[in-house]
């Protein structure tokens, strides 16, 4: 690809000494080291700065690809550059903010946007080209709706939200504060429900709504269906990745993590802080307890207790599944061993028979 004359955004980078100054920390290591990003320890790359508030994290940080570590005051020297601070968490949040790219907003309301006269638009709201906003929509101060979004009648969007281009909200959806919706996300479409009467699938009316809590982020092309009656709910602080399906009447607690391509059938309930790995599937009406982890590709067909870690199909405690998988790997060999045993037993029986005859 010839991109010699493309305009590339200047990558953000800071000298380690600058960062140390900003967070009022003590620097050990190369002052001039260029830091190009901030990362969790698992995903760190060269140029990243990471965070280690205790010994375990420090060991991980030392073994990571990161170039520098933010650590508490009394931390010993390591192989990496280090900034020592009183309150490493607070310092690290400052560094995250330093690198965060504020998305460029459209300026004000674009003249091509079609906004119902009954919509109420707050202060400082930005609305991009070709956006359609239907009757009785409320958009509160500071929210940004980028190009080609569709906001159905009666929706409420609270303060400081960010909708990337081409988001669709069906009617009556309620969105919290500081919610980020990525392109292609569809919130509030009909749940999937039919009854087969007289040789036809008849649509069960989907007349409930959707509530998205504060500080939620929803990925590209993810779909959250409206409730049959009542509400589909995504709790405060929950983060949903791309291409996820949330069925009608699901109740997702606060601070959950749903990784890409996960699917929740109708009326699933997640507690708080639940983590669903990529491509997991949850049967309708299952309940997942607080802090439970469902590992990637698992199929959940029954309730999961709080703090459990489950995997596999059907999902079972992960340690149990690991033992089963290990046995499965050896299954052909086990079958051979059973075959040998059968042969041995037959021989033994024969020998006993022979000796009985002899006797």
Q: Which 62-101 residues touch its own copies, going by CB under 8 A?
A: 89, 92-93, 96, 99-101
Site string for its own copies, 163-192 (x = CB under 8 A): -xxx-x-xxx-x-xx----xxx-x--xx-x
CB of 314 to its own copies, least distance (A): 7
The rounded distance, in Å, linking the Cα atoms of 261 and 238 is: 16
54 binds its own copies (CB under 8 A): no
Looking at the Cβ atoms of 45 and 77, the one nearer to its own copies is 45
51 binds its own copies (CB under 8 A): yes
Looking at the Cβ atoms of 84 and 241, the one nearer to its own copies is 241
The rounded distance, in Å, linking the Cα atoms of 356 and 151 is: 90
If you ran DSSP here, which 8-state letter would residue 238 be given? -
Region of 198 on the Ramachandran plot (φ > 0 left; ψ -120 to 50 alpha; else beta): left
CB of 74 to its own copies, least distance (A): 20
CB of 43 to its own copies, least distance (A): 6
Looking at the Cβ atoms of 20 and 181, the one nearer to its own copies is 181
CB of 126 to its own copies, least distance (A): 13
259 binds its own copies (CB under 8 A): yes
DSSP assignment string, 60-106: HHHHSS-SEEEEETTPPP-SSEEEEES-HHHHHHHHHHHH--PPPPP
Contact residue for its own copies among 108, 302, 306, 314 (CB under 8 A): 314
The number of C-alpha atoms within 13 Å of 237 and in the hemisphere containing its C-beta is 9
Looking at the Cβ atoms of 20 and 186, the one nearer to its own copies is 186
Contact residue for its own copies among 253, 266, 271, 291 (CB under 8 A): 266
6 binds its own copies (CB under 8 A): yes
* 16-35 binders of its own copies (CB under 8 A): none
Distances in whole angstroms, Cα of residue 14 to Cα of each of 19, 31, 41, 99, 323: 7, 11, 19, 9, 47
CB of 290 to its own copies, least distance (A): 13
Contact residue for its own copies among 105, 124, 136, 287 (CB under 8 A): 136
Contact residue for its own copies among 25, 142, 208, 289 (CB under 8 A): 208
Number of residues that bind its own copies (CB under 8 A): 152
Three-state secondary-structure class, residue 17: helix
CB of 302 to its own copies, least distance (A): 13
* Strand order from edge to edge, sheet including 144-145: 126-127, 144-145, 162-163, 180-181, 217-218, 239-240, 257-258, 275-276, 293-294, 309-311, 316-317
Q: Is residue 248 annotated as part of the catalytic site, yes or no?
A: yes
The rounded distance, in Å, linking the Cα atoms of 270 and 163 is: 25
Omega cis (within 30) before 314: yes
116 binds its own copies (CB under 8 A): no
Distances in whole angstroms, Cα of residue 105 to Cα of each of 102, 130, 145, 191, 250: 9, 15, 9, 33, 32
Check 182, 248, 285, 318 and give the catalytic one.
Answer: 248
If you ran DSSP here, which 8-state letter would residue 19 be given? H
* Catalytic residue set: 248
């Amino acid at each position: 690809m010839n991109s010699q004359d493309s305009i590339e955004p200047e990558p953000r980078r800071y000298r380690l000494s600058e960062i140390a100054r900003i967070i009022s920390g003590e620097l050990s290591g190369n002052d001039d080291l260029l830091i190009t990003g901030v990362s969790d320890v698992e995903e760190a790359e060269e140029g990243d700065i990471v965070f280690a508030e205790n010994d375990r994290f420090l060991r991980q940080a030392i073994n990571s690809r990161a170039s520098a570590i933010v650590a508490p005051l009394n931390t010993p020297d390591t192989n990496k550059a280090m900034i020592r601070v009183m309150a490493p968490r607070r310092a690290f949040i400052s560094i995250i903010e330093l690198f965060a790219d504020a998305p460029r907003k459209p300026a004000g309301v674009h003249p091509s946007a079609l906004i119902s006269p009954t919509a109420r638009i707050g202060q400082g709201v930005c609305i991009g080209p070709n956006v359609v906003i239907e009757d009785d929509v409320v958009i509160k101060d500071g929210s940004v709706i980028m190009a080609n979004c569709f906001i159905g009648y009666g929706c409420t969007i609270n303060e400081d939200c960010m909708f990337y281009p081409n988001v669709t909200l069906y009617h009556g959806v309620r969105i919290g504060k500081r919610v980020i919706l990525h392109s292609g996300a569809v919130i509030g479409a009909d749940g999937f429900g039919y009854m087969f009467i007289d040789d036809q699938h008849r649509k069960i009316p989907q007349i409930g709504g959707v509530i998205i809590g504060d500080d939620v982020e929803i990925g590209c092309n993810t779909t959250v269906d409206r409730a049959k009656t009542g509400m589909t709910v995504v709790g405060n602080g929950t983060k949903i990745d791309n291409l996820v399906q949330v069925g009608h009447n699901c109740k997702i607690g606060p601070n959950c993590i749903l990784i890409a391509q996960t699917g929740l059938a109708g009326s699933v309930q997640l507690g708080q802080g639940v983590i669903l790995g990529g491509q997991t599937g949850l049967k309708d009406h299952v309940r997942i307890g607080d802090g439970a982890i469902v590992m990637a590709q698992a199929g959940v067909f029954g309730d999961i207790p709080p703090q459990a870690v489950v995997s596999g199909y059907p999902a079972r405690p992960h340690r149990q599944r690991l033992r089963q998988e290990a046995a499965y790997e050896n299954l052909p060999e086990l079958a051979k061993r059973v075959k040998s045993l059968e042969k041995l037993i037959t021989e033994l029986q024969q020998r006993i028979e022979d000796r009985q005859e002899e006797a």
